[in-house]
């Protein structure tokens, strides 16, 4: 090939690359150019639904396009998460991510059809939500040490409920049991709804759930909170210690929720979504909605969110192996 022809080929290649870059920049500048669908992997009325609609309302104002929440529940959130992973990666389909969809499901379910670290582009964490471990108000178990002593005295007999085999609640229970050196009688339910009924009815002895659903019963005295899972004491329950205060610092982190896009979403679009979402998280309206359910706003970079997912996934996989959790 002659020098002149080589220069022409190189020039054409360079111009082509510049054209593609220019087109991508123009597409990013127009983003979003139509409504955004936010896939929530759980049913209407769930915690994820609450935060999906709260963040969707704020993003719609900031991005100038409607944000439509699409509840696609099933398989512990796996159906909705897979729909996000398989969506067109242009930023117009997002997903509400949780510990259930990106950590516990992948850690337990080997037949899952998505990879939490490869099939999503993290945008940002949104909020954390504390949980509490509770017993009946008239239970002889009055503290977390009492619970541990009861489990030692009655190995595999103290009944402890979770929202399902392999759920985040189940894995967290097994982490606590391992650190405490005890074994509980695990009682899996299909979701959280029936747990309180059976706890009140005396069919189970111990349960954990998010603070909002437990708070009225704790305040009334029907339930007693033994410990909360959060980095600090929950303002609504100032007398209840954290797991960290009681010597279980490695499992004191609250559950988190975040925003993800399909893996191949352009970086500029992810950056735009991150900037808009961080702005949305800091609005008085979103903060008020978060604090109303004892949550904490937790904005982050995409890289920080990716690292968080990887950290929790590694921890859950170890617990699943040690506790031999199967579904």
Mean per-residue pLDDT, 54-78: 96
What homologous superfamily is domain 33-128+254-323 in, according to CATH?
A: Bordetella uptake gene, domain 1 (3.40.190.150)
Q: Which of 10-19, 141-150, 180-189, 275-284 has the lowest mean pLDDT?
A: 10-19
pTM across the whole model? 0.88
Residue 212 has a pLDDT of 87
Mean per-residue pLDDT, 284-297: 96
Mean per-residue pLDDT, 289-304: 96
pLDDT class of 5 with cuts at 50, 70, 90: low
Rounded CA separation 157/57 (Å) = 46
Q: Which of 4-8, 30-34, 197-201 has the lowest mean pLDDT?
A: 4-8
> Pairing state of beta strands 131-136 and 206-210?
antiparallel
Residue 326 has a pLDDT of 86
CA atoms within 13 A on the CB side of 215: 15
Q: In what order do the strands lie in the sheet with 131-136?
A: 185-188, 159-162, 206-210, 131-136, 223-229
Q: Which of 114-128, 137-151, 183-197, 295-309 has the lowest mean pLDDT?
A: 183-197
Asked if residue 176 has pLDDT above 80, the reply is yes
CATH of 131-251 among 3.40.190.10, 3.40.640.10, 3.30.300.30, 3.30.9.10: 3.40.190.10
pLDDT class of 14 with cuts at 50, 70, 90: low
Whether cis (ω within 30° of 0) applies to the bond prior to 32 is yes
Rounded CA separation 134/141 (Å) = 10
- Alpha helices (runs of H) in 110-237, residue ranges in sequence order: 144-153, 168-180, 193-200, 211-220
Q: Taking a C-beta distance cutoff of 8 angstroms, is the pair 92, 32 a contact? A: yes
Residue 94 has a pLDDT of 99
pLDDT class of 63 with cuts at 50, 70, 90: very high
pLDDT class of 319 with cuts at 50, 70, 90: very high
Mean per-residue pLDDT, 127-140: 97
Residue 172 has a pLDDT of 94
Residue 324 has a pLDDT of 92
Proportion of the chain above pLDDT 70, given as a percent: 91
Q: Which of 23-32, 117-126, 244-253, 300-309 has the lowest mean pLDDT?
A: 23-32
Residue 87 main-chain phi, psi, to 5 deg: -75, 160
Q: Taking a C-beta distance cutoff of 8 angstroms, is the pair 224, 218 a contact? A: yes
Q: Taking a C-beta distance cutoff of 8 angstroms, is the pair 184, 178 a contact? A: no
Domains 33-128+254-323 and 131-251 share a fold: yes
Residue 2 has a pLDDT of 56
What integer best gives the mean pLDDT of the chain?
92
**First CA to last CA distance, the chain:** 63
Residue 54 has a pLDDT of 98
The number of residues making up the chain comes to 327
Mean per-residue pLDDT, 204-212: 94
Domain ranges of the chain: 33-128+254-323, 131-251
pLDDT class of 190 with cuts at 50, 70, 90: confident
Closest CA to 222 of 238, 203, 242, 202: 202
Give every CB contact of residue 189 below 8 A, 6+ residues apart in sequence.
161, 162, 163, 164, 195, 198
Q: Taking a C-beta distance cutoff of 8 angstroms, is the pair 128, 295 a contact? A: yes
Asked if residue 76 has pLDDT above 90, the reply is no
> Pairing state of beta strands 67-71 and 36-40?
parallel
């Amino acid at each position: 090939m002659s020098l002149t022809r080589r220069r022409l080929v190189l020039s054409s290649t360079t111009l082509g690359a510049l054209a593609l870059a220019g087109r991508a920049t123009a597409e990013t500048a127009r983003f979003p150019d139509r409504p955004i669908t936010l896939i929530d992997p759980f049913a209407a009325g769930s915690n994820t639904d609450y935060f999906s609609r709260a963040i969707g309302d704020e993003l719609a104002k900031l991005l100038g396009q409607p944000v439509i929440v699409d509840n696609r529940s099933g398989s512990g959130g796996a159906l909705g998460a897979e729909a996000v992973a398989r969506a067109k990666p242009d930023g117009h389909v997002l997903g509400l991510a949780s510990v259930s969809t990106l950590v516990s499901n992948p850690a337990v379910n080997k037949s899952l059809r998505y990879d939490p670290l490869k099939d999503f582009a993290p945008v940002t964490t949104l909020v954390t939500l504390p949980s509490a471990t509770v017993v009946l108000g008239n239970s002889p178990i009055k503290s977390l040490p009492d619970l541990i002593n009861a489990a030692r005295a009655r190995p595999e007999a103290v009944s402890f409920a979770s929202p399902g085999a392999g759920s985040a609640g189940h894995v967290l229970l097994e982490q606590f049991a391992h650190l405490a050196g005890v074994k509980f009688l695990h009682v899996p339910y299909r979701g959280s709804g029936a747990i309180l009924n059976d706890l009140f009815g005396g069919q189970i002895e111990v349960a954990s759930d998010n603070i909002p659903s437990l708070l009225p019963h704790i305040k009334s005295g029907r339930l007693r909170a033994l410990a909360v899972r959060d980095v600090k004491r929950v303002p609504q329950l100032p007398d209840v210690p954290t797991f960290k205060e009681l010597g279980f610092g490695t499992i004191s982190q609250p559950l988190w929720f975040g925003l993800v896009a399909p893996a191949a979403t352009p970086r500029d679009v992810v950056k735009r979504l991150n900037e808009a979402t961080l702005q949305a998280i800091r609005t008085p309206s979103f903060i008020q909605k978060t604090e109303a359910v004892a949550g904490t706003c937790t904005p982050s970079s995409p890289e920080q969110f990716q690292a968080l997912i990887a950290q929790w996934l590694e921890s859950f996989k170890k617990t699943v192996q040690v506790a031999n959790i199967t579904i």
